[in-house]
Structure 1
Amino acid sequence: MKHLITFLLITFCLSITGQEILLRKKTEEILAEDDFGPNKKKYVHSMLSVGFNFGLQEENVSLIRGWSSFSLGYGVRTKRRLSNTFSLGYDVRCELNQYRYRPHEGSLFQQFYSAPEPDSLLVDKLSYSSAQFAPYFRINMGKRGNHLGKYIDLSVYGELMITSSHAVKFKHPNDDQVNRSTLKTRRLKYTNKLLYGLEFRYGNSYYNVYLRYRANDLLNNKLKDDPRQPPACNAGLYLFLAR
């Protein structure tokens, strides 16, 4: 009987100890989960971006076609809350940019080939892909639950150009063998491989609208005076894939 009572007491003590360990572990998991969320201490989400490139009409800049000069991208954004009002974070993005140039005397074709633009020219476009890193400072506005709410982001970004190409397409109405032809040039030396600039965003839990300005030309007179540099402005939308 004594052995049975001793066995039961030991079993009971071990059971209590095991329950305490499991309870502590569960509590730690709950606390850890509570630190992650749209309006919690930490948050991460993915996003798609679509934007349109544009620039000011200056004498030393080749003009582009507005709606057909665009950017498409995918990225991941992290956020760390500092207080109810302020947050910090950063974006990691990959992006494709395309600039379609208008046919005129200062077109990219003429600047690139140092030749008059032929009437048979159909398409004159510059394209490049890049990787971007963009830290930001966020100002939250108004009351919100466990969601992002409304906010303003002030961001700087650095961009590494991975590939670049210039393509021109021609029509040949009087040729029996060829209807259209394309000439593509890669690894362009006149494009700057390292880019940087400023970005302003206004957003909510579902999307951001943004305005971006490439600032290289402000600090580099060689780039500023080169008419082959693409226009510096981009505006568009970030759409969140997970909230």
Structure 2
Amino acid sequence: MPVLLLALLNNYSRAQDILLEEDVNADTSEVIKGPNKKKFSHNYYGLAFPVSADSMGSRINYGKSFELTFGRRMKWRLSNNYALGLDASYHLNSYNLRQTANKLLPNDSVHKKERLRLHQLGLGFYNRFNFGKRGNYIGNFIDLGFRFDVPIITVHVTEDKITAGGVNNGRKVKTKTNDLRFVEDFNYSAYFRLGLDKFVVTASYRLADLFITDPNLYSQYNNGLKKYSELPLLNIG
């Protein structure tokens, strides 16, 4: 009986030795997704404002004009300091048009308020250069990219107040015109982002015209216009 008990204890201790020698890390998967891992994607939004010069005939009210962006960003890290990425985005470019005597966009009529709105879908490609120390968060980086935008909805809005009631006994008139023929089917921009810890500064510079060149399109105004003067090219936010 004692011999049998010793044999059982010996087998039990060997079984314990085997368990203690198992490498539990062999079954642990490497984490590859995260802000500074091999793959990362996230939703984002941003607000920017036109800051470059406007043009005669297409003056805007700065501060009341803006670009609102929502999108999805994807990034693939190729080395510790370099990554490639894609931006899929929606942009609302809203331009508050200044009412002046030499106004031409989209005509020379003066209103109480007037806006040009472009709803655009964009696809961008960017290079990311990381620098400085960082953990598993955004960290410090510079993005240099190129974006292709397609205006899917184009809208011109005017608002006016009237002293008389008019046929509908109202005091305010608002017009809305869609599918604007003078806007190009697409445009493209270069863009820049600077990330510092958890804060990001962005800038985009449009490289293509927004407005079509076609004298026949503007012939109704009898002013020899071939195309509208361009709106500001640079947005910062």
Gaps of 5+ in 1: 1-15, 237-243
Pair member with larger Rg: 2
Match of 2:234 in 1: 233
1 CA distance for matches of 2:191 and 2:25? 47
2 CA distance for matches of 1:43 and 1:116? 50
1:105 matched to 2:105:
no
Q: Which amino acid aligns with 1:216?
A: A
Contact 2:55 2:229 in 1 (8 A): no
Q: Which amino acid aligns with 2:200?
A: N
Deviation for aligned residue 1:173: 2.1
1:201 matched to 2:215:
no
Match of 1:66 in 2: 62
- Between stretches 203-212 and 41-50, larger displacement belongs to 203-212
Q: Which amino acid aligns with 1:79?
A: K
Contact 1:54 1:64 in 2 (8 A): no
Contact 2:127 2:143 in 1 (8 A): yes
2 CA distance for matches of 1:209 and 1:186? 33
Alpha carbons of 1:205 and 1:90: their partners in 2 closer, same or farther (altered >3 Å)?
A: farther
SS at match of 1:199: strand
Deviation for aligned residue 1:37: 1.2
Contact 2:55 2:230 in 1 (8 A): no
Gaps of 5+ in 2: 1-17, 215-225
2 CA distance for matches of 1:79 and 1:165? 34
Higher relative contact order (CA 8 A, sep 6+): 1
Match of 2:128 in 1: 138
Match of 1:90 in 2: 86
1:46 matched to 2:47:
no
Aligned residue pair count: 203
Contact 2:34 2:136 in 1 (8 A): yes
> Once superposed, which parts of structure 1, at least 4 consecutive aligned residues long, lie more than 3 Å away?
220-223
Contact 2:184 2:212 in 1 (8 A): no
Contact 2:69 2:92 in 1 (8 A): yes
Q: Which amino acid aligns with 1:126?
A: L
SS at match of 2:80: coil
Q: What TM-score does the superposition give when structure 1 sets the normalisation length?
A: 0.75
2:205 to 213, 216, 224: 213
Q: Which amino acid aligns with 1:206?
A: K
Match of 2:152 in 1: 162
Match of 1:37 in 2: 34
1:56 matched to 2:50:
no
Contact 2:67 2:93 in 1 (8 A): yes
2 CA distance for matches of 1:57 and 1:194? 20
Q: Which amino acid aligns with 1:197?
A: S
Percent identity between matched residues is 30
Q: Which amino acid aligns with 2:71?
A: G
Q: What TM-score does the superposition give when structure 2 sets the normalisation length?
A: 0.77
Q: Which amino acid aligns with 2:153?
A: T
Contact 2:183 2:212 in 1 (8 A): no
Q: Deviations over 1:128-161 (max 9, x none)?
A: 2111111100111112122221111001000111
1:180 matched to 2:172:
yes
Judging by fraction of residues, say which structure has more helix: 1
Q: Which amino acid aligns with 1:128?
A: L
1 CA distance for matches of 2:105 and 2:96? 14
